[in-house]
Amino acid sequence: MSENRDGLFARAEEVLSLFRRGAEFTQDLIKENERLRLQIACFEAQNMAASDDVEWEKLRHELVSRIQNLEGEKQDILDRLQQVEGENSHFAERYLEIEEENNNLASLYVASYQLHSTLDLSEVIKIVVEIVINLIGAEVFAIYVLDERTQVLTPVASEGREIADFPPCQMGHGIVGAAVATGETQCGDVAGSEDLARPLVCVPLRVQERPIGAIAIHKLLQQKAGFTPLDHELFTLLGGHAATAVFAARLYSQSERKLNTIQGFIDLLTK
């Protein structure tokens, strides 16, 4: 008896669920019908407008003027884009230039800093050698210092060849002598020469008008094709700062010697 009742309830539940689904489906159909009716009404209104010539012309005119406005706006945007692109490329070029300038200034700063970091003459000469090798990229070169008494330029440091291979030269004679005498950087044969009296380039070292020595470069490193604008800046820097550093170091060592001599005398007298 109880089993029959349970079966009856289950069947009733199934029938109810069927009715519920049917009701939902009917609701959906009503909604869809409403949507289609609205769409049809809209199309009919458009058709009415299109069939009326005046309305149609008005609509067409509005659309044409809107298109023209949009075309104008588009052209303005394209012009602006082109302008911005031009500015962008100009800024990119300027950025590269400034970056290069920044690197060059860093090289010049480091060279100058190192040159004035010591008062020891041999250290100063070593630093000049380092700068010429590492920053300029020279393979064979010599550094000459002027003996003010004899007016002879004697090599005090060299690279790539023995120091004895570089001939001393008289002030005013040859490429090295002429460079020191005139104070102007002398350029020799670009192809380079085996003759150690004929450097590729000779940079005079001067403190104001006082000649101190010279740097004679005979050969560049194989990967270095030629001199760059930075090299010329470095030549100018070396011409002044290396000369000042050499001059200051020589004065310092002379004053040290004199001080020691005076101290020796004082010690002798006071003992």
Partner 1 sequence: MARHRILIVEDSPTMRQLLAFALKRLKDVDIVEAQDGMDGLRKVSSDHFDLALIDINMPVMDGLKLISLIRGEDSLRQMPIIVITTEGAKEDRERAIALGANEYLTKPIQANKVLRIAQSLLKAE
Binding site for partner 1 (CB under 8 A): 99-100, 103, 106-107, 109-111, 113-114, 117, 127, 130-131, 133-137, 139, 221-224
The nearer residue to partner 1, 131 or 145, going by C-beta atoms, is: 131
Q: How far is the CB of 243 from partner 1 (least distance, A)?
A: 18
The nearer residue to partner 1, 91 or 109, going by C-beta atoms, is: 109
**Residue 153: CB partners within 8 Å, gap ≥ 6?**
144, 145, 146, 147, 168, 169, 170, 171, 176, 177, 180, 213, 214
CA distance 196 to 152: 16
Q: How far is the CB of 135 from partner 1 (least distance, A)?
A: 6
Q: How far is the CB of 116 from partner 1 (least distance, A)?
A: 12
Q: How far is the CB of 134 from partner 1 (least distance, A)?
A: 5
Per the rule left: phi > 0, alpha: psi between -120 and 50, beta: everything else, 186 is: beta
Strands 152-159, 201-207: parallel, antiparallel or unpaired by DSSP?
unpaired
Q: How far is the CB of 92 from partner 1 (least distance, A)?
A: 14
The values of phi and psi at residue 223, to 5°, are -85, -5
Q: How far is the CB of 100 from partner 1 (least distance, A)?
A: 8
The nearer residue to partner 1, 138 or 169, going by C-beta atoms, is: 138
Cα radius of gyration (the chain): 46
Whether residue 227 contacts residue 236, with contact meaning beta carbons closer than 8 Å, is answered with: no
**Residue 145: CB partners within 8 Å, gap ≥ 6?**
153, 154, 156, 212, 213, 246
The values of phi and psi at residue 6, to 5°, are -60, -45
The nearer residue to partner 1, 75 or 134, going by C-beta atoms, is: 134
The nearer residue to partner 1, 82 or 228, going by C-beta atoms, is: 228
> What are the distances in angstroms from CA 100 to CA 114, 225, 230, 231?
21, 19, 10, 13
The nearer residue to partner 1, 8 or 221, going by C-beta atoms, is: 221
